[in-house]
A and B are shown apart, each in its own frame.
Chain A
Amino acid sequence: MNKIRTELLLCGGTGCHSTGSIKVRDALKNELDKQGLGKEIKIVETGCNGFCAVGPVMLVQPEGIFYQKLAEKDVPELVEEHFLKGRPVKRLFYKESASKEMIPQMHDIPFFAHQELRTMRNKGIIDPEVIDDYIARDGYFGAAKALTEMTPQQIIEEMKISGLRGRGGAGFPTGMKWDFASKSPGNVKYVLCNADEGDPGAFMDRSILEADPHAVLEGMIIAAKAINATKGYIYARTEYPLAIKRLEIAIAQAKEYGFLGDDILGTGFSFDIEIYQGAGAFVCGEETALMRSIEGKRGMPRPRPPFPAHKGLWEKPTILNNVETLANVAQIILKGGKWYSSIGTETSKGTKVFAISGDVNNIGLVEVPMGTPLRTLIYDVGGGIPDKKKFKAVQLGGPSGGCIPEYLLDTLVDYEEIAKVGAIMGSGGVIVMDESTCMVDMARFFMDFIQDESCGKCTPCREGTKRLLELLEKICDGRGELEDIDILEELSVTIKEASLCGLGQTAPNPVLSTLRYFKDEYYAHIIDKKCPAKRCVALLKFEVDPDKCKKCGLCFKACPTEAIVWKKKEVAYINKEKCVECLTCFSKCKFDAIN
């Protein structure tokens, strides 16, 4: 008998763990027992809720009240006031950054209000370590349907109708990929799940695995039936211990229930899944390198064709899908491809999960329908730019993506539309940048990452990205010459065309897209020897402009080395002997008085 009246859905994702949700959980347990509420009120530890930036977060159901930034010390008050006496604790509510308005209910918070949850439908609702919770939300009914009522071809047809495209970056139609592998001859085939997630700043795959691991397993089971595979591997990076732990639990539970193993649901179909832990090299996310890595060899890409659908892991027909892609499969089978394609645009169906970060108020993980304008994503869901600063650009698609300037913010989230303006959907990383970002420096940052991650197999990628990086460093250092811009452009085109794998083929994108929209910043660095955003240290004077200085003293208070001399009603002055060029004063001065 269920005597629970209230459930506390406390986030137990990696983000909230690191901000203290385990301590909050233990304190809650204690306090509830102390007040005699332990039998009426239940704590459920969920996976990532998406709003990690304000974690630890907790949703009180059925009231729908959302608490943020919980700490152990808040617990006695919370239990006594809200759970015993029914007076929700206002100071722990979400505060809107612009209006400072307090919003008690989760579904009224703009960050959540614009979302449409499909891939992440179970996030924050189920306990990821309890298989029955997943089943309660229709879990494994998609697999049951695929296994008992559908032929492989029918499954593939349904996937094609859904219009689902791979969420790992390239956006290849999932149904078509399965079709190729299903038609490949051979009685040993593999289904692989790409949980490498190498993009810096991206964490959607990790969150899905932590919040809803069974959804990924179920997607793999259905894929296996579609191509007649007997074995699956999940390639996950070792840096994701919680995701791996929850996957292990999920696999064990699925085996116990007989959703994995021999003769699944008595249908005669057998399929098993193993986790393979990768060491976390960016290039190992590339499909052929990933397969090499599972084979125990060094993870290096190889030329295609042959495509993995014909010769993949151990030369057998193989499909590789991204975590987010697979998390959608069971619902497509259960509700139909038409249901899935009912939202989205002409070429991009369904929803997409984005990780929003950078200079934006609401940092976190969100799922919106394809076709949502970038402006809605950044301003309504993301809550806009903090500190009254101006928007400058949004970088989409991680290190192989591109940036989009203000005037193109009405671009829709759609594979083709985003590609048209020089970026890519990629895995869904969205980095918002305000006016204090230097676009040349940004290109340099990504090139530094890419150059480190090149596997070195082909020269244009290995040497070319190094040269690009050197040129960008030269410009940031104030040694740039006009012809460097031409060299950057030519080199970029060559690297794109002559590289073997996707890493090299997309590596120059950050350079090309900043040249496309922010060439004037390159010129400012090269001709005027100035960094308009005041980020490139070599081009700054570290001097206070006495005409602009309003004598406020903010720089003085912020300087870590006491390099700033300032007295009330006096203009500030920088002592260069003591200055360590940390740029703190530049970001603190509201009057743009430091050069």
Chain B
Amino acid sequence: MAKLSIQDLKKIKENAAKGISLRQEQGRIKVTVHMGTCGIAAGAREVMSTLVEEIAQADRQDIQVVASSCMGMCSSEPNVTVQVEAEEPIIYQKMTANKMRQVFKRHILLGEVQTDFALAKM
């Protein structure tokens, strides 16, 4: 490989920093996918994969994804909680891959709460 210059070093750092971003600071936005048994049965895995893909596509390092256990509301599964720093968490219900995409683009990226899918504010 050719000799590095300081410019190259900076570029490597920028890229590499993305790769280890999860290991250091906590994200500014936290998205929790509730993955109880019934949540998974209702399609939470697909919702989770969609979310992860959207984040990767948007190339955002400040969004933290957490799987958590069920919330005790089987009838509304899959549930997803979106918490933007310092704002009230919003719980979305009966999520699908498509709804997840919409919540990601509108709420997470643009800050518009998608009240149609929202179950409650926590």
Contact = CB atoms under 8 A, between A and B. Distances in A.
A552 B40 CA distance: 54
A558 to B, nearest CB: 43
B34 interface: yes
Contacts of A144: 6, 9
Contacts of B9: 135, 140-141, 144, 265
B22 A4 contact: yes
Given A141-B9, A256-B1, A86 B23 contact: no
A86 B67 contact: yes
Contact of A133 (B19, B32, B69): B19
Contacts of A133: 16, 19-20
Interface residues of B, number: 43
B40 A84 contact: yes
Given A136-B13, A258-B3, A3 B56 contact: yes
Nearest to A82: B67
Contacts of B33: 86
Contacts of A83: 67
A266 B52 contact: no
B16 A148 contact: no
Contacts of B34: 86
A258 B6 CA distance: 11
A132 B19 CA distance: 9
Contact of A265 (B3, B12, B69): B3
B57 interface: yes
B57 A62 contact: no
Interface in A86-130: 86-87, 125-126
B23 A125 contact: yes
Contacts of A6: 22, 65, 67
Contacts of B23: 7, 9, 44, 61-62, 125-126
Interface string B1-35: 10111100100110111111011101100001111
A42 B69 CA distance: 20
Contacts of A263: 3
A138 interface: yes
A2 B68 contact: no
B69 A125 contact: no
Contacts of B120: none
A505 B57 CA distance: 64
B37 interface: yes
B41 to A, nearest CB: 12
Contacts of B12: 132, 135
Contacts of A4: 22, 52
A63 interface: yes
A371 B68 CA distance: 42
B59 interface: yes
Interface string A131-166: 011011110110010001000000000000000000
5 contacts: A1-B59, A63-B66, A64-B26, A85-B40, A256-B1
Interface of B: 1, 3-6, 9, 12-13, 15-20, 22-24, 26-27, 32-37, 40, 45, 48-49, 51-53, 55-57, 59, 64-70
Kindly list the 5 A-B residue pairs having the minimum CB-CB distance in the complex, ordered from nearest: A86-B67, A136-B16, A86-B68, A132-B16, A5-B65
Interface of A: 1-7, 9, 36, 40, 44, 61-64, 82-87, 125-126, 132-133, 135-138, 140-141, 144, 148, 256-259, 263, 265-266
